[in-house]
Structure 1
Amino acid sequence: MSAEIVRAACPHDCPDTCGMLVTVEDGVATKIQGDPSMPFTDGTLCTKVAYYLERTYSPDRLLYPMRRVGPKGKGQFERITWDAALDEIAARLKALAAENPETILPCSYAGTMGMVQYSSMDRRFFHKLGASLLDRTLCSTAGKFGLKATLGGSVGMDPERFDESKLILLWGANPIVSNLHLWSRVQEAKRRGAKVIAIDPYRSLSAEKCSQHIALLPGTDGALALGMMHVLIAEGMLDRDYIAKHSVGFEALAQRVKRYTPDWAAQTCGITREEVVQLAREYGGIRPAAIRLNYGMQRHTGGGIAARTIACLPALVGAWRDAAGGIVLSTADFYGFDHAALERADLLAGRRPRVINQSQLGDALTTAQPPVRAMIVYNNNPVAVCPESDKVIAGFSRDDLFTVVMDHFQTDTADYADIVLPATTQLEHYDVHKSYGHLYVLANNPAIAPVGESLPNSEVFRRLAARMGFDEPCFRDSDEDICRTALASSKEAMRGIEWNALKKAGWLKLGLPERFTPFAAGGFPTASGKCEFYSEWLEKQGVDPLPFYNPPVEAPGADTELARKYPLAFISPPARHFLNSSFANLARFREFEREPHLDMHRSDAERRGIRDGDLVRIFNDRGGYTLRARVNGKPRPGVVVAPSVWWKKYSRDGGNANNVTSQRTTDLGGGATFYDCLVEVQKVA
């Protein structure tokens, strides 16, 4: 039989959302590669997804439904049938729903980003049920709300234009690890003479290859932006015509930033005055100037306001006039998927269930009233990825909590499940994808039949809906019906993008101008249609309408008892070979990462008698865990870094970075504050 090539899309939580080609021979996928016809992917995949066949065909893959037979957390299960599993789940949910459906909680996140398996049949099911709503805040909500306040939404410059930029600020971004195809464009710009500046507390792989690295303290990004504004305005390095025509509140902003001098910014950020002034002058004097803002910088208490503040910079200097200028955090709001039709919130029928913030899942599972009594976990590994995980584990350990986990593998969370259901991988189901890092829509076609008895998430919720007696026609939609629904949008950019054509082509670009320059003539999706230095939207929420500095709660060097007890700032950026907690169970990628480790500056290590290779314990009042010290110059002094997220079962003592992180949330959006975290480190005897 001749080989067949199937067009697919990478499902993972990455801005690149790559087009893929899967070679199939005799029903077996034998090769996976980047789609060379898709401009953004350009034929290459990251190391993780290049080995995706090892995930699909892993000997550790879950193949059958299972029921727990041992204590929670021990991972002891017996095989059962799908009918037995679904009958038991439906019976438990019916009983709880009859008493109070808000005791049921869906717990999903970004294990797959496609509309079919991530955000359609599942949402319909829980809306009809009247279950508690989950606020999915772990990654990006602070930045999302910050950009909404300034720009009107998750919009920005076209990432494909970075290779034309002359100045690039990688602000909290490490694209070698988490945005590989943007990095190739940044490198091309650098070869053409662009200056590339990394702004990051950590000398990441990307920072090592930049023209300059500004190693500010964690959580002080907003202070640096305010200091830059002070210099730009004081020295007149402004595009006054653009400001006059396409912004709101400049005079108030100019008055506000007088207090934020470069000396103040330098002291706050732990850098030199010269770094602040030089950065501002280069940003005000070089065109085109592009900012790649990424999510690490908004994972602290002031993260939303910090993102909002940085997003003001392009309008001040007129960077939006250039296709290769402006800022991008996410491109998601350029799409027009019909989320209302996908998710069907109307099935709530007027009910207003409580909302549980995923960043505070530990508290929700241990103290919420009424208590959460059933959880359906899918596309997610909360025991590994949610903050303050000792509380999360305490919640999952409750004997009165009925837990269902749908996954490819026996994750840390699956070890606590009552029922485990095998899910299909991306090679085994339909889906349709947008991106938050480019401007293409992608189709995912199933390349092979489901492995073992695995089922798509959508089919599991279809079958559960039937058992629950939900008879609305939407519960009978096929996966391809859902793809068509997603694309049935009135938004101009989606015009002409139709499912049958998309699944054949694999990818189609949004209907935007070839030299897309979104805000060259204003037209921001704000209430005013302008860049809002002064935000009435924030003012109505009781938030200061102008940019200001909102410092970390757990700030190193602060005159607080907490900072004296735990003097080191801790951040846990993505490990190069993991994606959130995905891939961390596969031997190849654990070998690449070697073992959980902590990067320390030499001065901090020497002060504690720690040498390179020593076992150390990192801890604070929330918890701690043991890992290997790597003493080097990667973090700035006062900062320690643990590339993450390791599964707990693969660590030395059953812990990971989230043993020490906090459930405190951000100023805007209720996001996670993973990087607003003070710790101490000591050598293990």
Structure 2
Amino acid sequence: MLAYVEEGKLISVAGNPDNPYTRGNLCRKVAHYEERVYSPDRLHYPMRRVGKRGEGRFERISWEEAIEEIATRWKATIAESGAEAILPYSYAGTMGVVSMSACDGRLWNRMGASRLLRTICSAAAEAGYGYVNGWSGGIDPEDFANSKFILVWGTNLSSTNVHLMPYLKEAQAKGATVVVIDPFRTRTANSADWFIQPKPGTDGALALGMAHIIFSEGLHDEAWLEAYSVGWREFRERCAEYPPERVAEITGLAQDEIVTLARRYATESPAAIRLGYGLSRTANGGSMIRAIACLPGVIGAWGKQGGGLLLSTSAHFPLNRPAISRPELRPAEGEPSCTDFGRTEPRAINMNEIGKALMEAQDPPIRAIYVYNSNPLAVAPNSNLVKQGFEREDLFVVVHEQMMTDTARYADILLPATTHLEHLDLMRAYGHLYLNLCVPAIEPLGESRPNIEVMNALAKAMGYTDSAFDETAEEIIRAALNSDHPYMEGITYETLQEHGFAKLRTQSDPFIPFQEGRGFRTPSGKVEFASKQAERDGYDLLPNYTPPAESAAVDPELAQDFPINLLSPAAHHFLNSTFSNLDSLKKSERAPRIWLNTADAEARGVAEGDWVRVWNRRGAVQLQAMVGDKVKAGVAWSPSLWWHTDSPEGGNVNALTSDRLTDMGGGSTFHTNLVQVALL
């Protein structure tokens, strides 16, 4: 991103035309980032709560007062209950190596605070994919231009990965077929050659059914499987349990559609899959990803130009991770820590269960929470329970934030944070292979400070004298780049300063991983259709399909009361709850909305534009109805996330979502969510 500044003020932003991947394009979310920097909701100085929690009434204080008060409260908490009574809560609001990766480790490691399992986004997908291919990264997104048959599976690229779209269009121009598999007819589906619409949570059955057809018709690459995989014959037997007629019944697809998809995927080589995290956010999400991750191995697509699968590129970045997070800072024996509770390391709290963690009995109870890079009252599931937790008067809440968010209103101490245009950081990616140096374009607004400066100050106030808490952002970045991996050859702080970005020095461009079957980070070093590791972890040796926990197949009584499966993926103009307060983007999103199938709407007397009540046993929200055939009967779709202050009932769709965890990885289950809908 390029920033245009006049007399110290940000005027506008633009894409960098010199970046080969983004090609000078910005997504709609950040195209007017100056609106975010100068938002009326922006926080400018530290404050202390003077009203009731949630009222948003504060008084201004100095940074010195804020740091001293936080440290005093934390010291008292540690003395009375141990360091595990303090919980950091964060995710990816600011994604840099410094602002995210370093800050998620250093201070909390030194303190011995409760560990946060940051699993809300990708954990289930990483677990399922990892059992098959190891957490090995995926193909270079630029290589999709060389594919002949592309499956865009469970991801709306036009809204969430817009920079990949030109490569798909380039492939289409050369004769490739793009297939979108999604329960909702997305913007991406509208640009595809073929749209396939399975029932939510059934993608795993579709993948196993495809593999069955490929095996049964002899379309698999047996030579590749023999050389570079484990358990493929056992997997073939498992797939035989998923003939087209069974898969059609499970998925709601036509048998000939399933057969044609499998045949074309196997024969129109090279074939590639762009797999999204979204479909993993179901109760059976890890299993679904695991099944889909098997398909490239079945046809021997790995290691070929234009072939394979991309879930994430993040595993390809060989940064010096210990230098970033500093795990050696964890308390030594004898210091106040988890040892008081019989544990060898601090307890872990799953971020999806933050409501439970705050409201249910814990040993020790959570008495203090420090929120940064996140807005849990808006983004965490089962938000009514989360809200109850933050309403506890005995909970000491510190929020370091750019805006007066839903969560910020509940803070005891509220600290102003810089935006990424106001601090130095290093950005790695999960959708491409470039490192980017983020340099400040303007001075921090008001008294706002970056995460690392605040945490270093808090560490010193706590009496921690470790040299790590003297390190600047530049020093952390230099340490992160200090890697002897060949991908990092020639990439230094100075080269990033000069060019702004650098692509990993892979052996080919575009990068083609797993050539000759090398590089799979599984125990065997091969693709594992049968995974002993999965079996040791308590899962099936082989991929399998199980229906979603909230479904007619599993809980028919629940499905009778709440017959509609609500999906709540990312909105086109918002990034979770980031940007949801900007007037221009809210105008584009129009209102908190829900898409209903015509049959479901007519049965409830609902017309286009009507406001409806959507509810289940966890909560209720009011949404504006959109009616048509973009979803099948029994499915609804509500793009997220709106702030509570913009909702008629003071909440958002996460009042409905469950804090149940996924089958693998402890991930979120936002899309396993049965609801009922009625006209207001």
Residue 381 of structure 1 corresponds to which residue in structure 2?
A: 375
Residues of 1 paired with 2:422 and 2:552: CA distance?
48
1:518 aligns with 2:499: no
| 1:32 positional shift | 1.3
Structure 2 counterpart of 1:343, one-letter code: S
Identity %: 48
Structure 2 counterpart of 1:225, one-letter code: A
Residues of 2 paired with 1:138 and 1:418: CA distance?
25
Pick one of 76, 97, 106 that aligns with 1:95: 76
| Partners of 1:332 and 1:435 within 8 A in 2 | yes
Secondary structure of the corresponding residue to residue 47 of structure 1: coil
Aligned 1:135-146 pairs, distance under 5 A: 135-146=117-128
| 1:195 positional shift | 1.0
For residues 149-187 of structure 1, give each alpha carbon's deviation from its aligned partner in whole angstroms, at most 9, with x where no partner exists: 111115111101112211111100100000001012112
| Partners of 1:147 and 1:154 within 8 A in 2 | no
| Partners of 1:122 and 1:457 within 8 A in 2 | no
1:167 aligns with 2:160: no
Pick one of 458, 461, 486 that aligns with 2:480: 486
Pick one of 548, 571, 577 that aligns with 2:573: 577
1:537 aligns with 2:533: yes
Structure 1 counterpart of 2:126, one-letter code: K
Residue 339 of structure 2 corresponds to which residue in structure 1?
A: none
Residue 394 of structure 1 corresponds to which residue in structure 2?
A: 388
1:608 aligns with 2:604: yes
| Partners of 1:444 and 1:503 within 8 A in 2 | no
Q: How many residues are paired up?
A: 665
Structure 1 counterpart of 2:512, one-letter code: T
Residue 7 of structure 1 corresponds to which residue in structure 2?
A: none
Residue 340 of structure 2 corresponds to which residue in structure 1?
A: none
Residues of 1 paired with 2:19 and 2:79: CA distance?
50
1:60 aligns with 2:41: yes
| Partners of 2:380 and 2:386 within 8 A in 1 | yes
Residues of 2 paired with 1:550 and 1:98: CA distance?
47
| Partners of 2:55 and 2:409 within 8 A in 1 | yes
Aligned 1:453-532 pairs, distance under 5 A: 453-512=447-506, 513-523=508-518, 524-532=520-528
1:450 aligns with 2:440: no
Residue 418 of structure 1 corresponds to which residue in structure 2?
A: 412
1:127 aligns with 2:109: yes
Residues of 2 paired with 1:445 and 1:213: CA distance?
42
Residues of 1 paired with 2:644 and 2:166: CA distance?
33
Residue 244 of structure 1 corresponds to which residue in structure 2?
A: 226
For residues 613-649 of structure 1, give each alpha carbon's deviation from its aligned partner in whole angstroms, at most 9, with x where no partner exists: 1110111111111111111221111101110011111
For residues 413-437 of structure 1, give each alpha carbon's deviation from its aligned partner in whole angstroms, at most 9, with x where no partner exists: 0111111110000111000011001
| 1:272 positional shift | 1.0
User: Which stretch of the first structure deviates more once superposed, 474-483 or 558-567?
Assistant: 558-567
Residue 343 of structure 1 corresponds to which residue in structure 2?
A: 325
1:362 aligns with 2:355: yes
1:428 aligns with 2:435: no
Structure 2 counterpart of 1:625, one-letter code: V
| 1:592 positional shift | 0.6
Secondary structure of the corresponding residue to residue 309 of structure 2: strand
Change (3 A) 1:104 1:540: same
Residues of 1 paired with 2:361 and 2:150: CA distance?
46
1:254 aligns with 2:236: yes
The TM-score normalised by the length of structure 1 is 0.96
Residues of 2 paired with 1:106 and 1:239: CA distance?
48
| 1:550 positional shift | 2.1
Secondary structure of the corresponding residue to residue 485 of structure 1: helix
RMSD: 1.2
Residue 9 of structure 2 corresponds to which residue in structure 1?
A: 28
| 1:561 positional shift | 0.5
Residues of 1 paired with 2:534 and 2:361: CA distance?
29
Residues of 1 paired with 2:233 and 2:438: CA distance?
49
1:82 aligns with 2:63: yes
Residues of 1 paired with 2:103 and 2:379: CA distance?
24
Structure 2, unmatched stretches of 5+, are 333-343
| 1:516 positional shift | 2.0
Residues of 2 paired with 1:92 and 1:340: CA distance?
29
Residues of 2 paired with 1:476 and 1:421: CA distance?
20
Secondary structure of the corresponding residue to residue 156 of structure 1: coil
For residues 546-566 of structure 1, give each alpha carbon's deviation from its aligned partner in whole angstroms, at most 9, with x where no partner exists: 111122001246661111111
Pick one of 123, 130, 138 that aligns with 1:148: 130
Pick one of 165, 188, 195 that aligns with 1:206: 188
Residues of 2 paired with 1:163 and 1:515: CA distance?
10
Residues of 2 paired with 1:607 and 1:192: CA distance?
45
| Partners of 2:600 and 2:634 within 8 A in 1 | yes
The TM-score normalised by the length of structure 2 is 0.96
| Partners of 1:132 and 1:355 within 8 A in 2 | yes
| Partners of 1:595 and 1:628 within 8 A in 2 | yes
Secondary structure of the corresponding residue to residue 576 of structure 2: coil
1:46 aligns with 2:27: yes
Residues of 1 paired with 2:78 and 2:490: CA distance?
42
1:71 aligns with 2:65: no
Structure 2 counterpart of 1:422, one-letter code: P
Residue 8 of structure 1 corresponds to which residue in structure 2?
A: none
Residue 12 of structure 1 corresponds to which residue in structure 2?
A: none
Secondary structure of the corresponding residue to residue 320 of structure 1: coil
Residues of 2 paired with 1:549 and 1:616: CA distance?
34
Residues of 2 paired with 1:91 and 1:123: CA distance?
21
Secondary structure of the corresponding residue to residue 393 of structure 1: helix
1:562 aligns with 2:555: no
Structure 2 counterpart of 1:353, one-letter code: P
Residue 272 of structure 1 corresponds to which residue in structure 2?
A: 254
Residues of 1 paired with 2:534 and 2:489: CA distance?
33
Residue 14 of structure 1 corresponds to which residue in structure 2?
A: none
Change (3 A) 1:311 1:111: same
Residues of 2 paired with 1:579 and 1:516: CA distance?
28
Residues of 1 paired with 2:158 and 2:599: CA distance?
27
Residues of 2 paired with 1:515 and 1:240: CA distance?
27
Residues of 2 paired with 1:552 and 1:42: CA distance?
40
Structure 1 counterpart of 2:20, one-letter code: P
Residues of 2 paired with 1:621 and 1:331: CA distance?
38
1:552 aligns with 2:545: no
Residues of 2 paired with 1:588 and 1:678: CA distance?
32
Structure 1, unmatched stretches of 5+, are 1-19
Structure 1 counterpart of 2:183, one-letter code: P
Structure 2 counterpart of 1:683, one-letter code: L
Residues of 2 paired with 1:285 and 1:386: CA distance?
43
Structure 2 counterpart of 1:84, one-letter code: E
